[in-house]
Amino acid sequence: MKWTRMEDLSAGSQFDSDLQITYRYASETWLLNSKGERIGSVERWSTSGGGHCKSHSRYEAWVFPSNGEPTHLGVFCENTLKECKGFVLNALGILPA
């Protein structure tokens, strides 16, 4: 299993109505199994701030089980990329290396 490099897949933007700011898609990394199939991902979204918020990033973590629909693990504003990768591994029942 391995993580791909962070890559820009041009996914657009999202407006956060609570914070009144727009997050722009920045990049994402995929977790691939030994067959090269995507089984997890972490997306990075960033904002230049506005309203009451400073410039920052947030992450969205996903798992892609072979027998079901993709599962959104959540939006993480206070966590690092490494921590979010750990959430994906944990959700898949894999111990971090």
Of all residues in the chain, the percent with pLDDT exceeding 90 is 45
- What does R_g of the chain's alpha carbons equal in angstroms? 14
**Pairing of β 21-32 and β 2-3:** antiparallel
Q: What is the pLDDT of residue 92?
A: 92
Residue 83 predicted with pLDDT over 60:
yes
Q: What is the pLDDT of residue 97?
A: 53
Could you tell me the pTM of the whole model? 0.79
Nearest CA to 31 out of 53, 57, 64 is that of: 64
Mean pLDDT on 41-48: 87
